[in-house]
Each structure stands twice: as C-alpha cells, then as structure tokens.
C-alpha cells in the first residue's frame, strides 16, 4: 500500500470543515468509496455492503481511523443494521461505518484481526442480537448466562418469565 501518511491533511477551521477534509481525503485515495459516503446530522456515515465491510474497515484503518469505538446492531425487522463506530485522531472526527445483514442469515466477517478491542463488542452483539461473527476467536455469550435461550434485544424475542407492564398510565 502507498504511504498514506504523506497525504497532507489541512488544518480545519471548525468541526464542519473537518468532515469536508475527510471527504476529500477519502475520495482522493479510495474513489470507489466516495459515492457511499455521506454527511448526516454533522456526522460522517459510510454505508457499505456486507461483503465489502472487512475490506473497507481495513482501508479506513490505513487512512487514519486507528481507534475502534464500538460495534452495535439495530433490528429493522427484515434485516439488522450493524454500526461500527471508528475514530480518527488524524482527521479529528469519528465515522459510522454501517452495513446490513439479512435476518434469515445473520452473519458477517469479524474485524477483530484489525482491532482486537472489538472482541468483547462482537460477543455482546452476538449475545443480545444473535449475529454471528465469522472468524471471531472466542464467540460465546458475554452478558447473559451460557444456557440462555434466544437473543433478548431482537424485536421478536419472547420470554415467558417477563411480566408485561400493565396499561395504567
């Protein structure tokens, strides 16, 4: 790979212009990722497909996103959206790297080889949302007991032990 640290990063005037600096750097180094990039609510979002997530994460790490924040998942019914939060000290901004996995096949490649900090985060997503991370070194439940049945943060989770709140307010 080329030496990306040689790319000059201009000093931004404010938080909004650091996002534009990031857009320019991303588009000049990786033109294929440029149409997937957007700025929403004063924050940068990169929406990629499931197959290209690991490669994109590796590219972003090399570009300057050296810190992994967290990974979380959202249940949208037909599919789950995975949100990887990355942070860059070089650009001074964070980025949400998003992808979607289908509900009938909830699996994705792990990123623990890039950021070992993601190990427990991926275990948590597996525990509560039931998304399998292929290649994870130790994929088992982290918050719930090992003999738990189901994944409680899914919208269709059912547990006979849960008492629904009555409608008195």
Q: Which is nearer to another protein, 7 or 144 (CB)?
A: 144
Q: Which member of 42, 161, 167, 169 binds another protein (CB under 8 A)?
A: 161
- Please name the residues in contact with 137: beta carbons below 8 A apart, sequence gap of 6 or more: 112, 119
CB of residue 157 to another protein, shortest distance in Å: 8
- Angle (CA) 139 144 148, round 5°: 90
Among positions 131-160, residues that touch another protein (CB under 8 A) are 143-145, 152, 157, 159
Q: Which is nearer to another protein, 122 or 127 (CB)?
A: 127
Q: Which is nearer to another protein, 78 or 165 (CB)?
A: 165
**Burial bucket for residue 87 (CB in 10 Å: 0-12, 13-18, 19+):** middle
What is d(CA 131, CA 140) in angstroms, rounded to the nearest whole number?
11
Pairing of strands 93-102, 132-134: unpaired
CB of residue 166 to another protein, shortest distance in Å: 8
Q: Which member of 40, 166, 167, 169 binds another protein (CB under 8 A)?
A: 166
CB of residue 152 to another protein, shortest distance in Å: 5
What is d(CA 78, CA 62) in angstroms, rounded to the nearest whole number?
33
Residues that bind another protein (CB under 8 A): 143-145, 152, 157, 159, 161-166
């Amino acid at each position: 790979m080329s030496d990306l640290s040689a790319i000059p990063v201009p000093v931004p005037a404010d938080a909004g212009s650091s996002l534009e600096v990031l857009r320019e750097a991303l588009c000049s180094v990786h033109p294929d990722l440029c149409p997937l990039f957007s700025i929403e609510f004063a924050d940068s979002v990169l929406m990629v497909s499931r197959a290209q997530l690991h490669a994109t994460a590796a590219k972003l790490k090399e570009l300057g996103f050296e810190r992994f924040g967290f990974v979380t998942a959202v249940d949208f019914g037909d599919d789950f959206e995975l949100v990887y939060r990355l942070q860059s000290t070089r650009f001074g901004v964070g980025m949400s790297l998003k992808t979607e996995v289908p509900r009938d096949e909830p699996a994705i490649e792990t990123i623990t080889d890039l950021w070992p900090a993601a190990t427990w985060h991926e275990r948590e997503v597996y525990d509560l949302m039931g998304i399998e991370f292929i290649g994870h070194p130790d994929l088992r439940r982290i918050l719930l007991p090992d003999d738990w049945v189901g994944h409680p943060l899914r919208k269709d989770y059912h547990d006979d032990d849960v008492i629904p709140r009555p409608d008195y307010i």
